Amino acid sequence: MSAFKQHMPLARYSLRVCLTFLSWVPVVYVVTEHVAYIGKVEGMSMKPTFNPSDSPSTRNHVLLWKWGVTNINNLEVDDVVFLRSPIDPEKIYTKRIKAKQGDLVVPRYPDTRSRVLVPVNHIWVEGDNVHSIDSNTYGPVSTGLVIGKATYLIWPLNRFGPIPRGGRECREAKLRHGYKE
């Protein structure tokens, strides 16, 4: 028996493994681009909800749900979202939705604007940290800039679970009626 025939089953097995692997590459790509992804929370704008420690080794990772997040009906007040910066689209921000289309917002700095009406298909986002650069700086954000909605905190393991609520109430209708959570 020739050496070629002896290695034929190994070559077929290797080819089958390679083809199986390659057939899953598009599936993994579609899932990570359009369905779900693991996102790393960077920066201090969501502190103390995320990254309460200053250590880079304890940066929080979240499960991002991407399916349908640009649809305003799939977003709720207090959801945490990853979005492209309206100022620099190369930057990704992590912010909390504090108001949706049609809501009248009392900005954090009312001396510059007394009230802001959130336009159709826009959201008002704020960081949980008072020093965050957010809608108080750049105004309402189009839902088209939303990349994903954080659904679970998955790292570090001692903080595993649903995303905690946080931030301030800024919707005038809720403030006027003494909104309590």
- Asked whether 164 and 60 are in contact (CB, 8 A), the reply is no
> What separation in angstroms does the CA of 173 have from each of 34, 95, 99, 180?
35, 22, 11, 12
Q: How far apart are CA 161 and CA 154, in angstroms?
A: 7
- Considering the candidates 45, 66, 100, 149, report the single residue annotated as catalytic: 45
> What separation in angstroms does the CA of 82 have from each of 4, 40, 43, 71, 94?
54, 10, 12, 14, 5
- Considering the candidates 66, 95, 98, 100, report the single residue annotated as catalytic: 95
To the query of whether residue 5 is one of the catalytic residues in this protein, the response is no
To the query of whether residue 45 is one of the catalytic residues in this protein, the response is yes
Helix %, strand %, coil % of the chain (to 5): 30, 25, 45
Residues with catalytic roles? 45, 95
